[in-house]
Amino acid sequence: SAVPVITVDGPSGVGKGTVSRGLAEKLGWHRLDSGALYRILALAAVDAGVSLRDTDAVAALAPKLDIRFTGDHEDNEAIWVDGRNLRDRVRAEATGGLASQIAAAPAVRAALLQRQKDFRVAPGLIGDGRDMGTVVFPDAALKLFLTASAEERARRRLRQLSAAGQSAILEDLSTEISTRDERDRTRSVAPLVPASDAILIDTTFLSPTQVAERIDDLLKDRG
Ligand code: C5P
């Protein structure tokens, strides 16, 4: 039977990275950070001098990129694109905004679809993104959809950026995150919505440990 998948979807700054890394480590499964693929493609377009509005040209860059992820923690993570570690540029908040601009284009989503499915390798995969449960892995065994208030997500993103040595202003982050979420939620292709069979977890008042415990309970219930 098919390699099992657990999907972790939700808006920016909600803690999907922490949850999906924790699950991948606990289960010994692979992880797909699908947002990083959109971020990498946006940077590749910028570097190639391709306008982000020319979405067909942006999509055409996707098959040519050699992408490798190494390191399983935020601290030792490296993101190799054509042999160069672009981790800091990929993680910058501004890159998230560029990614969400190209992510609204059907041609771009189509160009990245098979690439994402290719991460489905035994013994299992944790898929982290916006449309993991709705579009990329609709047959996932367990679908999680994380939410948190916009204020809390901006605070989490600020902590994450400062831990990575990047500075940011809370109000600016808050605005950037809301703009990005609005664009992700209202686009016509693969919008940010929970799959009909997703389990919603509001993490606003939960610590990362409490979120992990709740998911552990779900896993036990399902054997
Ligand atoms: O998750 P992350 O912040 O890295 O994603 C960056 C952007 O990429 C999102 O704001 C969204 O527009 C896009 N994205 C997407 N579908 C995914 C993952 C990310 O459209 N599965």
Q: Any residues with CB less than 8 A from the CB of 151 and at least 6 apart, and which?
A: 174
Q: Does domain 5-218 have CATH number 3.40.50.300?
A: yes
Q: Any residues with CB less than 8 A from the CB of 165 and at least 6 apart, and which?
A: none
Q: Quote the tokens at residue 123.
A: 């013994």
- Which stretches of 45-135 are assigned E, i.e. beta strand? 67-70, 78-81, 84-85, 125-129
Region 110-124: mean pLDDT is: 97
Q: Predicted confidence band at 223 (pLDDT cuts at 50, 70, 90)?
A: low
By most ligand atoms within 8 Å of CB, the mutation choice from 12, 88, 93, 130 for ligand 1 is 130
What pTM value is reported for the model?
0.94
Span 8-48, pLDDT tens digits: 999 999 999 999 999 999 999 999 999 999 999 999 999 99
In the chain, where the domains are located: 5-218
What is the reported pLDDT for 76? 85
Ligand 1 pocket at CB < 6 A = 12, 34-36, 38-39, 96, 99-100, 103, 129-131, 180, 184
Q: Quote the tokens at residue 58.
A: 């942006």
The chain-wide mean pLDDT, for the chain, equals 94
What is the reported pLDDT for 80? 97
Give rounded-to-5 percent helix, strand, coil for the chain: 50, 15, 35
Alpha-carbon span 111 to 220, nearest angstrom = 36
By most ligand atoms within 8 Å of CB, the mutation choice from 34, 157, 160 for ligand 1 is 34
Residue nearest (by alpha carbon) to ligand 1 atom 11: 100
Phi, psi of 65 (to 5 degrees): -80, 130
Span 59-103, pLDDT tens digits: 999 999 999 999 877 778 899 999 999 999 999 889 999 999 999
Atom index in ligand 1 nearest the CA of residue 17 equals: 1
Q: Predicted confidence band at 1 (pLDDT cuts at 50, 70, 90)?
A: low
With H, G, I as helix, E, B as strand and everything else as coil, classify residue 56: helix
